[in-house]
Amino acid sequence: MINKLKGFSLLVSLGLCAVLFAQQPYYNGLNLGLTGLSLKSTLAQRITTTHTTQLTYSDVWVALKQTDLDPSNTNNVLLLYGYNDSDGNFMTDRTRSKNTTDNGTATLGLWNREHTYAKSLANPSMVTNTPSAGTDAHHLRACDKQMNSSRASKKFATGSGNAGNSGSNWYPGDEWKGDVARMMMYMYLRYPSQCNPTDVGTGSSVAIDDMITLFLDWNAQDTVSQYEKNRNTILETEQGNRNPFIDNPYLATLIWGGTIAQDNWNLTSVKENELENAFSIYPVPSKNGDVHVYFNSNEKLDVLELYNVSGQKIKTIETPKFDNNEFVFKGLPKGFFVLKARLGNSIVTKKIIIN
């Protein structure tokens, strides 16, 4: 019972510690020391319960004139997929007056509301006549009307350079691919049965869940811009909820693995501290050659490696099986050893002494 209480106290303290790193009151009370599907579920619940204002499709026009403003010129909106304001081609414009909204005519140089998660790719398809996933401004962006039509409902795919077709699919452009990835991650958490990443993007899925490596790569490669941060804060005011992956892209790494993204909250050190404290060795020193390794964590331990004082690896245990959180090395010879426990990208080291 004492060991269980110690483990519970450790979990609580780590959860509070992780929240301190968040620097966002929005995440107060969440245990950000979780990983995998547990963390996904925790974040999904928060962004769903705090989504207290459901925007209509008309409301979105008003919202985008606030959220999508160009930080360097607030008379303009930034246009998703855009990349050139000086080539004489309206379709490729990166910025435009916020007042040139689509009026239903064939006039060039207008912008409209791009569903980054294409309406027809959702299951069931999104609607916009009632507040729903189709009117959630976290994935609706200002976009040139022609560029929006060019993208249509194509799936996202790998590419490089400016936005455009990637085979029969669509590459959002180097500047926008991280934005797209983080919006797709948000939509998956907020509408898990309707907005699956595998339905809107191409490429292989990761081992856990239905996330695809394409979005994990983009999330890491294209870091969060000030524009995204501003947008997230305004949408918290408008809708009540935030996109966690804009606040900290590393949350995606903790949930799905893959390419390691930027960690804005120093959760990496919190995680390492948690794993370090989850391990203990008994007895130290050992007098009969038997060493008990205790591991009190829900993390999957990949391998245990034992090294002698000369740095030679003398024992490797792949996917060690713990009985009641305990693994036993039996009959080790006298000497000094280093035990390395590998858990994904993390390594925990412990000293072992046999007298």
Confidence band for 345, pLDDT divided at 50, 70 and 90: low
Claim to verify: residue 201 and residue 95 sit in the same structural domain: yes
Do residue 187 and residue 294 come from a single domain? Answer: no
Query: Per-residue pLDDT tens for 42-89?
Result: 999 999 999 999 999 999 999 999 999 999 999 999 999 999 999 999
Could you tell me which residue, 118 or 338, shows the higher pLDDT? 118
- Region 226-248: what's the mean pLDDT? 97
Per-residue DSSP letters for 250-315?
A: HHHHHHH-SSPPP-TT-HHHHHHHHHHHHEEEESSSBSSS-EEEEE-SSSPP-EEEEEETTS-EEE
Strand ranges (E), the chain? 69-70, 73-78, 95-97, 111-115, 140-144, 164-166, 169-171, 279-282, 291-295, 303-308, 313-318, 326-329, 335-343, 346-354
pTM attached to this predicted model: 0.76
Length of the chain: 355
* Final residue before a domain boundary, out of 220, 243, 265: 265
The yes-or-no verdict on residue 192 having pLDDT over 90 is: yes
- For residues 242-258, average pLDDT: 95
Same domain, 112 and 158: yes
Residues 230 and 254 in one domain: yes
- 239 shares its domain with 346: no
pLDDT digits (tens, 9 = 90+) for 278-317: 888 888 888 888 999 988 887 778 889 888 877 788 889 8
What's the CA gap between 53 and 164, in Å, rounded?
Answer: 34
Task: Output the domain CATH number for residue 325.
Answer: 2.60.40.10
pLDDT tens track for 201-222 = 999 998 789 999 999 999 999 9
pLDDT at 35: 83
Residue where one domain finishes, among candidates 265, 290, 312: 265
* Residue 9 clears pLDDT 80, i.e. is over it: no
State the average pLDDT for the chain: 89
Residues 271 and 259 in one domain: no
On whether both 21 and 126 belong to a single domain, the answer is: no
Choose the final residue of a domain: 246, 265, 284: 265
Specify whether 9 is located in the same domain as 148. Answer: no
Q: How far apart are CA 83 and CA 293, in angstroms?
A: 56
Q: What's the CA gap between 221 and 140, in Å, rounded?
A: 22
Query: What sign does the CA torsion over 19, 20, 22, 28 have?
Result: positive
Question: Which whole number is the average pLDDT over 155-164?
Answer: 98
Determine contact, residues 254/268, Cβ cutoff 8 Å: no
What is the pLDDT confidence band of residue 198, given thresholds at 50, 70 and 90? Answer: very high
Q: Does one domain contain both 235 and 316?
A: no
Domain residues for the domain of 59 are: 35-265
Is the pLDDT confidence value at 241 over 70?
Answer: yes
**Whether residues 14 and 61 fall in one domain:** no
Q: Mean pLDDT over residues 161-170, rounded?
A: 98
Shared domain check, 5 and 39: no
The pLDDT value recorded for residue 63 is: 97
Does residue 252 have a pLDDT over 90? yes
Region 314-341: what's the mean pLDDT?
88
- Give 106-131 pLDDT, tens digit per residue: 899 999 999 999 999 999 999 999 99
Please give the tally of structural domains in the chain: 2
pLDDT above 50 for 21: no
| pLDDT surpasses 50 at 248 | yes
- The pLDDT confidence band at residue 13, using thresholds 50, 70 and 90, is very low
Rg (CA), the chain: 25
Clarify whether residues 278 and 206 are in a common domain.
no
